[in-house]
Structure 1
Amino acid sequence: MRLPKPGDPKRRALMARVRQQGTAAELTVAAALRSAGHAYRLNVRSLPGSPDFANRKRKWAIFVHGCFWHQHTGCKRATIPKANEAFWRDKFGANRRRDARALRALRGVGFRVAIVWECEIADGEALAARLSKILESRRVDMPKPVDH
């Protein structure tokens, strides 16, 4: 299969169909969070990097990254297209630098941050265990005083 050249209207239409929100990986993570009883907000633009899932009160954020777009180190899905290779290397490098800035900024304001990679969602039990470990509260809930 031959893809249209970069800058071509057909290529532009192809790239426009690539989802940024509501991906299968995000829906799987959302289902795991709901089943574990975690409250969250989606795509929180007021936080650095607009995490895919976040809970301000509990101070956690989760990014769901596609292995291709964010170049998951060591993953078979993290390929670099041969056509216009320099462009793709620059693009992926910029994505990784942006991701690192967002992680540093969120951690700088006290958030626990996790990245769930697209290739990690296949094993639902492992995903649920990983999410519960990441999101377990670091504080002890004290009972409210009773008025007598």
Structure 2
Amino acid sequence: MDIWSKVKRSEVMGKIRAKDTKPEMLLRSALFKAGYRFRIHKAGLPGKPDIVMSKYKTIIFVHGCFWHFHEDCAEGRIPNSNSEYWRKKLTKNIERDSKNIKLLQDDGWQVLVVWECELKSESSILKIVDKLRMHLKI
């Protein structure tokens, strides 16, 4: 049983953004400050990647822990209410993510997934930027 009415639940769910989320903006800002240039939400690529670094043939997806069912995170869980619906929904999200990543890799892209929980502090964001720098061998 939901704690909100259908109208209130619809209003709340309608405010959830698919792009320009806070974790995505934090990572983009750190990458830009580190001197990386990129495109965002490039249409025409599978999954409309959050960050596209064409120069390095690298794509970064910033995944929300709940919506992409991050197994190693407290946020990556099935809600207790309407759990069968959420299990199906999140499973489809995982399958779609895997398919898109495979398509991109088959096309020669390096694909990195950064989880929302990895972007909680400035020091963790800087670690991700350093890890990316090492990955790109710059």
TM over 0.5: yes
What does 1:34-113 correspond to in 2, within 5 Å? 34-113=32-111
Cα distance in 2, alignment partners of residues 21 and 129 from structure 1: 24
Cα distance in 2, alignment partners of residues 17 and 43 from structure 1: 19
1:21 counterpart residue number: 19
Q: CA deviation at 1:41?
A: 0.5
Q: Rg larger in 1 or in 2? A: 1
Q: CA deviation at 1:35?
A: 1.5
SS at structure 1 position matched to 2:56: coil
Asked whether 1:129 is paired with 2:130, we answer: yes
* Aligned with residue 117 of structure 2, among 116, 119, 126: 119
Q: CA deviation at 1:37?
A: 1.1
Cα distance in 2, alignment partners of residues 125 and 17 from structure 1: 29
SS at structure 2 position matched to 1:22: coil
Report sequence identity in percent. Answer: 36
Structure 2 unaligned residues grouped into runs of 5+ = none
What residue identity is the alignment partner of 2:35?
A: G
Structure 1 unaligned residues grouped into runs of 5+ = 138-148
Question: CA offsets, 1:2-46, max 9 Å, x none?
Answer: 6325xx121111100112111110011101210221111011111
TM-score relative to the length of structure 2: 0.90
Richer in helix (by share): 2
TM-score relative to the length of structure 1: 0.84
Q: CA deviation at 1:117?
A: 0.3
Q: CA deviation at 1:57?
A: 3.6
The root-mean-square deviation of aligned C-alpha atoms, in Å, is 1.5
1:146 counterpart residue number: none
